[in-house]
Amino acid sequence: MMLQEVTSVAMPATNGRMISLDAFHAQRQEVLQAWPTGAAVNLDDAVSYQRQIDPRKRFSNVLREAAARRAMLIQPRAGVALIEDHVRLLKYLENEGEADLLPTTVDAYTRQNRYAEAAKGIEKSMASGTSLLNGFPIVNHGVDGCRRVTEAVNRPVQVRHGTPDARLLAEISLAGGFTSFEGGGISYNIPYAKSVPLRKSLTDWQYVDRLCGWYGEQGIEVNREPFGPLTGTLVPPCISHVIGILEGLLALEQGVKSLTLGYGQGGCVPQDVAALLTLRKLADESFRAAGFADFHLTTVFHQWMGGFPEDESRAFAVISWGTMVACLAGADKIIVKTPHEAMGVPSKEANAQGLRATRQIINMMADQGCLNTEAVTREQAVLEREVRGILRKVLELGGGDVREGTIAAFEAGVLDVPFAPSMQCRGKLLPMRDNEGCIRMFSRGAVPLDADLVTFHRERLEERARAEGRTVSFQMVTDDIYAISKGRLVGRPR
Ligand code: 5AD
């Protein structure tokens, strides 16, 4: 449906784009056959199981309750190959890290549906006594393995991954007692895969959302979280916002009610604060304009997703800086990095340290409210116009159909994600920092922007070039990408 044409406030019981129950069940049979553990998924049993989960362990409930208190929840990333080790890890993060929300980060084989290789990884991990997978292989461990994990802890657990086709993963996760599922057909394709067609990932994610929506119809609320940061590298906020809103609309169409939209820290404080405020406002506005009223929207801020300093003290500074910005922007949740970020998968101790540093800042920032400066207001105004303009064009291209509009927009370069591996992405958008560190577009490719906004971006970059005594060039992009790990935000010439 077109954004501008809908004025009704009533939530339609269904809408034309929801996958029919028949089509859904027909597809399920196929999905569950992809790996033997699929056979153990029984929806009636899964619903009874989900129903007896303590409400305090349901992701959406905890988010709702925290949003009402204006508290920001903290959540780490974590996942290892074996069930007992993973349980021990999560309990440690719950007890020593005081995590409010827990993750189960899925390994790279599972993300690519390579379950046979994940099985070998499990075997080798058992033999060697150390995790040889970079996450928890949910599909291989199956429904009962997942229930052992979700039952062992006292906090809600979310599945976090990076899977273009997450249908079987979602089936097993929800039957296994997880109450939140990250990802989306754009955000778990474009930054993660080279050659998965967008039509395929979007269609497969409509199935995932339909599954979550179906649980919702049985009274079991499943939280969904599109992955906001995308490539985590100089992504202009207008791009990630439009993609998050599109994925939110696609989820709402399939009956999802609890949605958390994400944003990855860009580095410029006023731009980041403005971005989070704008994300909440424009998502809410867009969902309502599309005829959805019955949803609970929250936001998640990701601490710096780019390259980290190797030195742990410096890494703590990056972690604390991000937390401060999330507080100033009133995020509902923050995803926490660790002092081991530059080295790879963190130890449980390092993971808990990141959580405790984050908690300290949150407590010190409590009750201070949002940052409200002229720069924040300026960035909000710019970003709102950018997002509305791009979103309008995407929906126009799809004749009001969100999925078709998204596909057409990537084909036309109307949507473009910097530094993405996907061939579905033109890669013509070239971002860099201005003199204050804000992310601007040096080249916008075919992303639609009003002429005065294009001028605004260019003037801000020229201001930096003058200050640095060089011309605006690709070298600035390279300098900016490595700047934080070298101890600065803007990659100035030395
Ligand atoms: N455990 C902890 N963190 C992980 N990440 C990826 N896999 C794991 C894991 N198994 C983190 C990376 C990076 C982010 C994208 O996810 O360190 O911070």
* pLDDT for residue 442 is more than 90: yes
Average pLDDT score over residue span 94-100 = 98
pLDDT number for residue 13: 35
- Residues 116 and 37: their CA atoms lie apart, in Å, by 12
Distance 53 CA to ligand 1 centre (A): 27
Q: What is the pLDDT of residues 408-430, one digit of tens each?
A: 999 999 999 999 999 999 999 99
Ligand 1 atom with the shortest distance to the CA of 232: 15
pTM of this structure: 0.96
Clarify whether 392 is annotated catalytic.
no
pLDDT number for residue 400: 87
CB burial of residue 148 (10 Å; 0-12, 13-18, 19+): middle
> What are the φ/ψ torsions at residue 38 (nearest 5 degrees)?
-65, -30
pLDDT tier at 12, thresholds 50, 70, 90: very low
Average pLDDT score over residue span 226-250 = 98
* pLDDT for residue 57 is more than 50: yes
Distance 454 CA to ligand 1 centre (A): 36
* pLDDT for residue 166 is more than 80: yes
Ligand 1: which of 337, 345, 484 to mutate, judged by most atoms within 8 Å of the beta carbon? 345
CB-side exposure of 213: number of CA atoms within 13 Å?
26
pLDDT tier at 7, thresholds 50, 70, 90: very low
From 58, 77, 111, 224, active-site residue: 111
- Averaged pLDDT score across all residues of the chain: 95
pLDDT tier at 16, thresholds 50, 70, 90: low
pLDDT number for residue 38: 98
57 DSSP 8-state letter: G
Lowest mean pLDDT among 4-8, 35-39, 131-135: 4-8
Cβ atoms 169, 138 nearer than 8 A: yes
Clarify whether 459 is annotated catalytic.
no
pLDDT number for residue 4: 39
pLDDT number for residue 80: 98
With a CB cutoff of 8 Å and minimum separation 6, the contacts of 303 are 265, 318, 319, 322, 323, 326, 334, 335, 336, 337, 358
Lowest mean pLDDT among 188-197, 225-234, 362-371, 385-394: 362-371
Share above pLDDT 90 across residues of the chain, in percent, rounded to a whole number: 96
Distance 78 CA to ligand 1 centre (A): 6
Cβ atoms 230, 262 nearer than 8 A: no
pLDDT number for residue 120: 98
| Maximum Cα interatomic distance, the chain, rounded to a whole number of Å | 67
* pLDDT for residue 76 is more than 50: yes
From 94, 182, 379, 384, active-site residue: 182
Ligand 1 atom with the shortest distance to the CA of 135: 10
